[in-house]
Structures are given as structure tokens and as C-alpha cells.
Structure 1
Amino acid sequence: MDRPAVEPVPGAPAATLDLGTERALGVADYHAGIEIGLRYERGVELDSNADARRERLLSLLDRTGAERVVVLGDLVHRIAEPDGAEADEVRELLDALEARDVPMTLARGNHDGGVADVFPDRIDLLPPDGARIGDVGLIHGHTWPGAEALSASTVCMGHEHPQVRLTDAVGGSRVERAWLRGPLRRAPFADALGEEGLLEWNDPELVVFPAFNERSGGTWINVDGQSFLAPFLPDGLASGQAYLTDGTRLGPYREV
């Protein structure tokens, strides 16, 4: 029986990725140092969750037996070059991974512009428009993906931090992180890339990862007035399904 290209880890905002020669643990939007960013951006004072974030990731590695960590963008929170406690958090994470002989691959996001300068040779950086490893396309989602990533049968992205607001019978509500999955439409990408006749297309499924960082907010995909952040959404995803991290299928995301 073939292993699924992308298999969510039950109860976690993470998935295992079959990259052909390796099995990876995929997460999106780690946002190291977010507490520092929230202090400067919003005046919110929060104790750092750096140690807890790192231990959650390491426990998922132990649980899945993955050989690599893939971060689908926004490893760090501040858009500027990471320094201070933010850089320390990434450094300690990389130290822990290297102690396990587990490399990290980063599909660069809009917050990751200075990562290469601060951590040269410690992270495998993908091109800004993503890449394909095995039969999995890896992108962040803040820009149009390149033809290589789109040639895969499954395309994984972050950036959106998808969430759903669920309301009970008495009017109470809660917000939960969610997965968003569905077939990609070729037309928007062919138009944007100007490659109608050249774009290799294997009817890919798009998998939008929930944010790994629980403090990073997100896009309420089932609330009127919320707009997507990726330039190719929602046009590129006509019939996506929403799922909670515990595996509960909520149905078409527009109808949740």
C-alpha cells in the first residue's frame, strides 16, 4: 500500500511528508520570537513559549520518526533580520535538530528575508517561489509559486494560518486551527506565470497547513469578510475541504 504524500499527524498542526528518499515532518509558520514581535507591534507582554515550541516539535519528530524537518515559511516572526532572543530561539532549535542528525529545509516566507545571513549553511533554503522534492511541492504561499513546485501531485503551503469559528446551539463560539485541502485550478496559475502551454500539470492537491504557532492568529476561512492572503486564493481552490487538527472533516470550507 502506497504511503500518502502528505499525512497529517493526529491532534497536531503538522504532517509527515513523503519526499521520495526521505520522510519529513512538515510544519508551517513557526514564528520564532513572536512574543518579542507582539511586544513591539501591539504592546502585548507575553512570556516566551520558545522552549515549549521547540519541545513540541521535537516530540513530533520522536512520534513520527521523520528524518528531516520542513518548515513551510515564516520560521521567524519579525520581517527584519533575526537577532537577540529570536535568533537564540532558532539557534537552540537547530542545535537540538543537529544533535538528532535531522536537517531543516525552509521554504522561505515573507518573514524569512534575513534567515540566510544569520544562519548560513545550517538550513537548506528553497528558492523564493518554492521547489519540488519527490512528488511534493513546497511553498510558503505569499507569492505565486513557480512551475517546478506546481508540477508536483501535492502542493503544501503555509502563510494563511487557516482557522474556523465554530458556534454551538446556544450561541457560544470557539476558534480552532484547521487544515484546508482541495484540488488546484490550473487557469489562475497559467495566467499568472504566462505558461499556458508549458506548465506541467498533474492535477495537484493543495494542502494548506495550520500555523504551528498558536499565538500567530490567522484567516477565519468560514467567516464573511475575511480575505485570503495568498494571491492565488480563493480563485485557485474552488472546492476545498476543511478539517480540524484532530481529523474531523468539516466539509466544504465555504459552508462550515
Structure 2
Amino acid sequence: MARVEPVVGEPAAVADLDGERAVLVADVHAGIEVGLRYERGVELDSRTGERRERLCDLIAETDADRLVVLGDLAHRIGAPDGDEREELETLVRAVTDRVPMTLVEGNHDAGVAEAFADDLDVIGPEGGLIGDSPGAVGVCHGHTWPDPGLLDADVVCTGHEHPQVRLEDAVGGSRVERAWLRGELDSAAFTESGDESDRAADAPELVVFPAFNERSGGTWVNVEGQSFLAPYLPVALPAADAYLLDGTRLGDYRRV
């Protein structure tokens, strides 16, 4: 059975697949500072170098053979150009000088696959399997209905949602933390048809990844009335635990 294990303290996980170790991240949003300046007139110091170094350090620390990005490698919606294109080129080069890189296309990745076709292995927006069955891991971004073939995996990994929890203390103070969501997948609710015939006998585990980029915002999953982004959430995850990046298990995310 495939295992997807978070890297303690990081918005990343590792999976051992057919003798190859992959490190997985979601929602890198390279060029976010450029995008915020262009979209909203917000000026922020660039963390380009920090993001690139963190990815390269993760590859080294986990002894990974491959980096898998679960969508939204880029931030601006549209073909990358200018400063964003330059950041992506530097990041992709830094990673692929070390290991191969797989991109699952997200809604922010328009033009990225084409621009970096010679450098990246690309999986389409509907997702796919990495590794051989049995023991494959399903990967998708989460902005569109996934390929029902992902239900053949032991574990399905998705991004897009940027899950966060709002935590309050006894005196009314609060903070927001990035979080993982993990639980058994309702396979019928995971498919666009919603057909009960799609229900798997052995339901995969669904792992919703926190955003790698801490500036990209997210869904407050424990706040009543908060809308989810993925078309299959929250119904495809009827019960799930939330975990902080440091590994703290918070229990049912709805009751945190």
C-alpha cells in the first residue's frame, strides 16, 4: 500500500513509489509578488529566493528522486512573462539540475506546461496516477472534476484548496495556520457523474495539501459557512482530521 507521509514542519510530503522517492508539494504560486503588484497594487518584498531554496532543501533532506507539484506552480493566470517568467525559469532550472520535476496542471498554470515542455513531465488538469498499481498514488490539482481512474489509487493527493484552520485561545485571541486534511474518500462524490457505481470497494484516502506558498491565502475549513473551492469538497470528504504542519492532530476539522 502506498504511503504519503508529511515532512514535519513543512507543507510537503514524501511517497515511495516503485523504488523512486517523490517529494510532493502544492500551490507554489511562483511570482505571487509580481501578481499582487499587477492585480492589486500591493507591494511586497520578494521571497523568490527563499521559495527556491526551500524546495531544493526539501529535495536534499528527503533524499527525493523527483519533485511533484500538485498544480499552481505559477501564480498569475495566463502565459508567464516578465519577472514571473524569470522566476519560474530560475526555479525550474534549480530543481531539474537536481531531480526530474512533474507538474500536475492547475488553474494558474495556463501556458506553463507549453513554456517549459522540455523541462517538465506534465500531467493534465484531470490528474493521473504516479507509480504502478497496486501501490499507485493519485494526483490532481482540484479545480476541476478528476479522472475517475484516480480511484484505483491507494491515496489521492490534491491541492487548490489551501486549507487553513482558525485557532482561538482562551482570551479571544486567534491565529490562522496552514493545515492538512486527511480522511477516507467518498468515491461516488469524487466523480462528476455522482454515480453510485463509481463507489470503490476499498476507498482511497484523500490528502488535501496545504499551500506551499504562505502568502497565497486559503480556505478556513473550520469556519461555518466557508465555501470550498474544489467541486468535490467537502462532500467527498465526509470525515477528515486536520493536522498542523508540525504534526499536531487537531481531530475532525469541522470541530476544531
TM-score, with normalisation over the residues of structure 1? 0.94
Please give the alpha-carbon distance, in whole angstroms, between the structure 2 residues aligned to 1:201 and 1:227.
29
Verify: 1:126 aligned to 2:123, yes or no. yes
CA drift at 1:198: 6.2
User: Secondary structure of 1:217's partner?
Assistant: coil
Alignment map for 1:146-225 (pairs within 5 Å) = 146-190=147-191, 192-193=192-193, 196-197=196-197, 202-225=202-225
Deviation digits for residues 100-159 of structure 1 (CA, Å, limit 9, x no counterpart): 2x0110111001111122112211000221001121000000111102222101000000
- Residue 75 (structure 1) aligns with: 73
Distance 1:246 1:219, change over 3 A: same
CA drift of 1:193 comes to: 3.5
Separation in structure 1 between the aligned mates of residue 166 and residue 28 of structure 2, nearest angstrom: 22
Quick check: 1:183–1:240 contact (8 Å CA) kept in 2?
Answer: yes
Which residue of structure 2 aligns with residue 236 of structure 1?
Answer: 236
The one-letter amino acid paired with 1:212 is: F
Aligned length: 252
Equivalent position of 1:43 in the other structure: 41
Give the secondary-structure state (helix, strand or coil) at the position aligned to 1:61. Answer: helix
Cα distance in 2 between the residues matched to 1:161 and 1:148: 24
Given that residues 179 and 243 in structure 1 are in contact (C-alpha distance below 8 angstroms), is that contact kept between their aligned partners in structure 2? yes
SS in 1 for 2:188: helix
User: Is the CA contact (8 Å cut-off) linking 1:18 and 1:136 kept in structure 2?
Assistant: no
* Structure 1 residues 149-173: Cα deviation after superposition (integer angstroms, max 9, x where no partner): 2210100000000000100111111
Mapping of residues 16-31 of structure 1, within 5 Å: 16-31=14-29
Listed as ranges, the gaps of 5+ residues in structure 1 are none
Partner of 1:116: 113
Amino acid at match of 1:186: S
Does the CA-based 8 Å contact 1:69-1:103 persist in structure 2?
yes
Deviating more after overlay: 236-245 vs 115-124: 115-124
Instruction: Say which SS state the counterpart of residue 188 (structure 1) adopts.
Output: coil
Unmatched 5+ stretches in structure 2: none
Which secondary structure state, in structure 2, belongs to the residue aligned with residue 227 of structure 1?
A: coil
The change in CA–CA distance for 1:154 and 1:178 in structure 2 (over 3 A counts) is same
Q: State whether residues 152 and 202 of structure 1, in contact with CA within 8 Å, keep that contact through their aligned partners in structure 2.
A: no
Does structure 2 conserve the Cα–Cα contact (< 8 Å) formed by 1:31 and 1:76?
Answer: yes
- Judge conservation of contact 1:29–1:73 (CA < 8 Å) in 2: yes
TM-superposed CA distance for 1:48, in Å, is: 1.2
User: Larger deviation: 196-205 or 48-57?
Assistant: 196-205
Task: Please report the RMSD computed on the Cα atoms of aligned residues, expressed in angstroms.
Answer: 1.5
Report the CA distance between 1:200 and its aligned residue.
5.7
Alignment partners' CA distance in 1, 2:185 and 2:198: 17
